[in-house]
Amino acid sequence: MIVWKNMDTLAAYSKLQSVKPVSLPSALSGEEGAARVKNYSVPMAEGLDFNYGARPVDDGILEVLKELAAEAQLAEKYEELYNGAVINTGEKRLVLHQLTRGQLGNAVIADGVDKRAFYVGEQNKIAAFAKKVHDGEITNAAGEKFTTAVQIGIGGSDLGPRAIYLALENWAKANGTLKMKAEFISNVDPDDAAGVLSKIDVAHSLFILVSKSGTTLETLTNESFVKDALEKAGLDPAKHMVAVTSETSPLAQNEGYLAAFFMDDYIGGRYSSTSAVGGAVLSLAFGPEVFAQFLDGAAEADALAKNPDPLQNAAMLDALIGVYERNVLGYPTTAVLPYSQAMSRFPAHLQQLDMESNGKSVNRFGEPVNYATGPVIFGEPGTNGQHSFYQLLHQGTNIVPLQFMGFRENQMGSDVVIQGSTSQQKLCANVAAQIIAFACGKDDEDRNKYFAGGRPSSIIIGDKLTPKTLGAILAHFENKVMFQGFVWNINSFDQEGVQLGKVLAKKVLAHDTDGALKVYSDLLNI
């Protein structure tokens, strides 16, 4: 039987607080340190590896973390999720984003519909539409092919799909699968939409409006901005727009769109990149075959996350070590540091995924919790970050756990040898050096040059960033966030924290304000 308990009631958590902390400088020294790095590695999907040799754990702590996983019933709760239990207690909904990429357990029937069949059906509709666009069967009014796809959406309708597009754009160029350029409009700031419109040929652009409810203020505002631009160019907006929405929204079955593709309430925005939210723009940009490869990588990672043994389950282990760092060692922040320019927007996506999911102070039943939950997430790609905020990471007063990602090969294949090494070798040399520098530090009588070390990190390593490996990495972090939510006994699948500001903004626009809110509104000339 599944039992949902607060973390501070679990015996394994109490035990975890009494174990002796690990000294990373000592643990990574000499031959024992080399053996530790080799042994502290878990295979991931698509040939990736999760190496946690520089995380602050040892065999004793890992045993207690295994006990915590068992007592918190992490594997059983994951099984409940993928078999269609009501895991999103705040909104009384199922959580089904895994079904967009594979069937992990029993058939899930909701609202009288087989949900796996529904998601596959939408993927097939998108694939057929994308093929017609690429083949010139669907064109603009002049009979000319569309060359650019523009996604209009915000939050999960923007961050994940944008990060994935940027991560695969150069790969697609190198492999001859870049079908259309993609752009993204998200911010209600008019400069965002105007900036995108100024650099595209609107006559050859296809706009994808993404809003599950069909009522998102920012998205509908930007849609009107785009429609105005199309009309001023003498174009019919209905011939240039498709919708990604729910079947019950006002955007569904609307003559103002070339086509409509559907999602449902069982997939949250930040988990929606493998649904029609990401499927439409990514299939148009790269072809549906590439999007299918991306889904395959995510599906393999989801399957590996079923393993009840954390030492064979990278997502579960990453989650448990993160809980130890957050709740026992007291580290409130985590930095995501991909050593890949292609993943430049991936930290921003993970920021939403993690902080919107686990930024909660009440448990699944609405009761306050007495322990810290989700960390603050930030990051930038290496080596750029090294010349930005690494100073604080190395010598600041706060210890920030680090999650590196690195690849042995670049995506485009072009490189040069300069001073005896290639650019890719220099990139990889930097990430290896940073891991050891953070963990081991450096002694120096000059305190300005002294590095205390003890800064923990893990790294996901692969040969090359491809659609499959990217899908596996995305699912790894989605499942990590899920497992941490289970340990903390919080609901990782609602986001009430984004609602209050929206409500007050509507009051401001209706001039229904008083007090301090009215003063701020007046200061901004609203």
Residues labelled catalytic: 356, 387, 502
* The two three-digit tokens of residue 28, written as one number: 């990574």
Three-state DSSP at 456 gives: coil
Sign of CA dihedral 505, 511, 516, 520: positive
- What is the spatial distance between Cα 72 and Cα 76, in angstroms, rounded to a whole number? 9
- What is the spatial distance between Cα 225 and Cα 234, in angstroms, rounded to a whole number? 15
Cβ atoms of residues 136 and 287 within 8 Å? no
Q: At what angle do helices 74-82 and 467-488 cross, to 10 degrees?
A: 120
Three-state DSSP at 444 gives: coil
User: What are the b/e assignments for 15-50, b being 16+ CB within 10 Å?
Assistant: ebeebeebebbebbeeeebeebbeebbbebbbebeb
Q: Kindly report the CA angle at 326 between 325 and 328, in degrees rounded to 5? A: 70
Q: Which contiguous run of DSSP H or E holds residue 42? A: strand 41-43
- What is the spatial distance between Cα 184 and Cα 101, in angstroms, rounded to a whole number? 24
- What is the spatial distance between Cα 98 and Cα 78, in angstroms, rounded to a whole number? 11
Q: How many Cα neighbours within 13 Å face the side chain of 127?
A: 12
Which is nearest to 462 in space by CA: 34, 45, 36?
Answer: 45
Beta strands in 312-390 (DSSP E): 333-339, 376-379
Place of tokens 């340190």: 33
* The two three-digit tokens of residue 498, written as one number: 């984004």
Q: 148-152 and 181-185 as β-strands: parallel, antiparallel, unpaired?
A: parallel
Three-state DSSP at 230 gives: helix
Which is nearest to 129 in space by CA: 243, 220, 213?
Answer: 243
Q: Which amino acid is at 52?
A: Y
Give every CB contact of residue 307 below 8 A, 6+ residues apart in sequence.
Answer: 75, 313, 316
Residue 323's CB is within 10 A of a number of other CB atoms, namely 24
Cβ atoms of residues 134 and 311 within 8 Å? no
122: exposed, middle or buried (Cβ count in 10 Å: 0-12, 13-18, 19+): buried
